[in-house]
Amino acid sequence: MNITIISASPREGRLSLGVAKHLNNKIENSILIDLGEFNIPRFTGFGDTSGDLEQLRETLTKSDAFIIISPEYNGGYPGILKDLIDHCSRETFANKTVGIASVSAGAMAGVRVANHLKDAFFNIQSIVSPRLLMAGNVGERFSTEGKLIDDSFQGQVDSFIESIQWLGNKIKD
Ligand SMILES: Cc1cc2nc3c(=O)[nH]c(=O)nc-3n(C[C@H](O)[C@H](O)[C@H](O)COP(=O)(O)O)c2cc1C
């Protein structure tokens, strides 16, 4: 079972990427897509092949499962992730396992974005893993290079990964 990790922050100096790198290092058979490095056009209709969409669709279609690592921006997720979801929709994400990790500089840990993402992926018929990773106070937990600074968070990271792998293997069979 292969997993594609999508880091959804486009921001310069993005801290979400540290979380994504950490998971990517821990998971065998995973790849990391940093949306900040891709050209994803604003959604204006289905079938768009401009920018990096074709390359992204090809990679995502080959994925058995996904981990979405998203910062909370004004209670929601970044526009670049919304565009990706709309461009790819059910054709790419339906019937596949999706794990959701929220990232926030604050103590609330991005609970609102996690809820929005649950609904969005439910709507495109993904199988959303019930175990979330809520990376609050992210700068104190992960370095931008992907090192876990706060050892007390390791258990949550491990449980999150295990639940996606468990579910992903069941769904794939
Ligand atoms: C446009 C914008 C809106 C934000 N809104 C929220 C918010 O609603 N809730 C929150 O906890 N943090 C919010 N933050 C702070 C983020 O939690 C913080 O920037 C975090 O590092 C985001 O992840 P990133 O570094 O990967 O972009 C916001 C940051 C930006 C840039």
Residues 106, 138 contacting (CB under 8 angstroms) = no
The pLDDT-based confidence of 173 (bands split at 50, 70, 90) is confident
Residue range(s) defining the domain that contains residue 107: 3-172
Q: Which of 72, 108, 116, 142 to mutate to test the pocket of ligand 1 (most atoms within 8 A of CB)?
A: 72
What whole-number percentage of the chain has pLDDT above 70?
100
Domain tally for the chain? 1
Would strands 30-34 and 65-71 be described as parallel, antiparallel, or unpaired?
A: unpaired
Ligand 1 centroid to Cα of residue 71, in Å, is: 6
Facing residues of 31 across strands?
Answer: 4
Number of alpha carbons in the 13 Å side-chain half-sphere of residue 138: 26
Facing residues of 36 across strands?
Answer: none
Ligand 1 centroid to Cα of residue 62, in Å, is: 31
Collapsing DSSP states into helix, strand and coil, what is residue 40?
coil
| CATH number of the domain that residue 96 is part of | 3.40.50.360
In tens, the pLDDT along 135-172 reads 999 999 999 999 999 999 999 999 999 999 999 999 99
Residue 99: φ, ψ to 5°: -105, 140
User: What residue ranges line ligand 1, CB within 6 angstroms?
Assistant: 9, 11, 14-16, 71-75, 103-106, 108, 110, 138
**End-to-end Cα, the chain, rounded Å:** 10
